[in-house]
Structure 1
Amino acid sequence: MSTGLEGRKLSTTYSCSKGFYGQNCNLTCNYKCDGCNNMSGSCDSGCKPGWKGDNCQQPCSYGFYGLNCTQTCNDKCDGCHNVNGYCDREPCPPGWEGSSCQQQCQENKYGLNCSKMCGNCRDLSQCHYINGSCLNGCDPGFQGEKCNMECDFGFYGNGCLQECGSFCKRSRDCHHVTGFCKNGCKHGWQGNDCFEVSKLEDSNTDWKSRFYGMLGAFCVSLILNGLLIAFFIMYIRFKQNQHSERAKKAQSQYCETKPSETAEGGYQELGDFNAIPTTYQNLEIQ
């Protein structure tokens, strides 16, 4: 007697949880599969991102990643992770950072891994993200392509074009940014840049000026007084000489006049003398 089961194929239909397969669903699917066949375990539902092949055993080719290996790695990467596209094989090239090397260096940094600091770029602007050059020039007091060198000795300020003062204690030795003399000023000068005449020196100069002025006035006074005295002496001598000349002249005139008077008087006396005998003769006649 036939039971009706003969010749019939026994079919058993079952479904394992995702990630498992086999008769008792106790076998684990390949982790690279996006699920697998319940019976054979083949990756008939496709591969997880980053993998390819029949059994999802092959990673994405160089330069590709993601689901079905269709996404392209960032061109800044030297290849990338086959699953997430991160640049994990080599560091990002100089000037780039981020998991996929998608971001330029920032915050005044540049170079490999953005590990170098920019120089003293003008107004703290960002330097070139790869080589660190300052694109807009340097802050006052600095020079060079990267603005990381101070001004040469004796210069300061914008473009290092201003000269330090020559009255610094050490001539032209000033701060490269401000121009202030580092060790003070030479004698007689003051101020941050030693361009002001010292007040003490001014007072000393004033005192010396007054002293020399008074000394000069005194000397001039002595000279004038000496000239006045000399003039007075010469005037007195002139008067004395003039008086002496007059006296001599008067005496000379006197001497010329006196002899004639004597001769004339002597004549008269002689005449009187001659008159005596006449009187005497007259007396005899009487």
Structure 2
Amino acid sequence: MFGSLLSLALISFYSRNAAFGCPAQNQYGTECRNCSTACENELCNPETGACLRCHPGFTGNFCNQSCAVNTYGKDCVMTCGFCKDERTCNHIHGSCAKGCTEGWFGEKCDIPCEFGYHGVDCNEVCSLNCLYQECDRFTGNCTFGCIPEYQGPNCQTRSSLDSQSALDGAILGYSVNGIFVFINVVLGVVFGLKFVKRQNERRRVEPIVITKSEGPTKQIVSSLVV
């Protein structure tokens, strides 16, 4: 339907163009000026020279104006993606010359970061300390918190509680070892004292044998030394 109407319009324009006596279809007016090259197919109104349609990236009656900020393409109806530093995209094909802002990537910066990535052009990897390794694609903050022993928005800081627990555990371990050493020393002293005491008691009760000769016989007298 649209194609038929456009064809009829072109035939009408061409007929009026011939009425001006212009030798070519891409000319207009009584002086047969060439239609602007900005006009699509260089076709224009045979009376005024206004373009019938514009090339992608241009607008205006004579297609001599670039698309407005953050728009591009055919008839300037496309919206730019998320270009870095809030720059506008190329008015013809929509690409971002300086890359993408946080959370987006692709030539037109219109594709969200994939799972596990964040930042400018999605070049940053989510922290390995993020639970499930998932983070906000704009800030890099961990979505579901941190794995054990880590804390902070992006889970890069060791937990002070865990560090204190480790310190307490070390102190407890040294304390227990110290107690065992002390007990062993005390037991060694006690057993040593008992051994010395037994040795002294044996020396005190040791018998002394005296041999006395009386003629052909010997009399043995035993006495205890007090």
Which interval holds the TM-score relative to the shorter structure? 0.7 to 0.9
* Structure number, greater radius of gyration: 1
Q: Name structure 1 gaps, 5 residues minimum.
A: 1-49, 268-286
How far apart are the structure 1 equivalents of 2:45 and 2:17?
Answer: 14
Letter in 1 for 2:56: P
Q: Is the 8 A contact 2:17 2:28 kept in 1?
A: no
Indicate yes or no: 2:198 matched with 1:240.
yes
AA partner of residue 164 (structure 1): C
The question of 1:65 aligning with 2:28 is answered yes
1:34-62: CA deviations, max 9, x gaps? xxxxxxxxxxxxxxxx9688xxx457441
Specify the code of the residue in structure 2 equivalent to 1:143: F
Q: Return the offset for 1:165.
A: 0.8
Q: Structure 1 residues 187 and 72 mapped into 2: Cα distance closer, same or farther (>3 Å)?
A: same
Larger relative contact order (C-alpha < 8 A, sep ≥ 6)? 2
Pairwise CA RMSD: 3.0
Question: Residues 16-55 of structure 1 correspond to what in structure 2 (within 5 A)?
Answer: none
Displacement of 1:235 after TM fit? 2.8
Taking structure 1 as the reference length, the TM-score comes to: 0.60
Cα distance, 1:212–1:145 mapped onto 2, change above 3 Å: closer
In the alignment, what sits opposite 2:156? 195
- What is the identity, as a one-letter code, of the residue corresponding to 2:28? Y
String of CA shifts for 1:87-106, please: whole Å, max 9, x gaps. 13xx3121111111111222
C-alpha distance in 2, partners of 1:97/1:52? Answer: 23
Q: Which residue of structure 1 aligns with residue 69 of structure 2?
A: 107
- Answer whether contact 1:59 1:82 (CA < 8 A) is retained: no
- The question of 1:84 aligning with 2:36 is answered no
Structure 2 residue ranges without an equivalent (≥5): 1-14, 219-226
Partner of 2:127: 165
CA contact (8 A) 2:116 2:126 kept: yes
- Superposed displacement of residue 175, structure 1: 1.9
Deviations 1:109-165 (A, max 9, x none): 111101111112222222222211112222233222112223333222234332211
* Alignment of 1:148 onto 2:115: no
Equivalent position of 1:177 in the other structure: 138
Are 2:178 and 1:220 aligned? yes
Task: Kindly indicate whether the alpha-carbon contact (under 8 Å) linking 1:134 and 1:146 is maintained by their aligned counterparts in 2.
Answer: yes
What is the match of residue 212 of structure 2?
260
Q: CA deviation at 1:208?
A: 6.5
Three-state SS of the structure 1 residue aligned to 2:114 is coil
Percent of pairs with identical residues: 28
In 1, Cα distance between equivalents of 2:97 and 2:166? 57
DSSP 3-state at the match of 1:170: helix
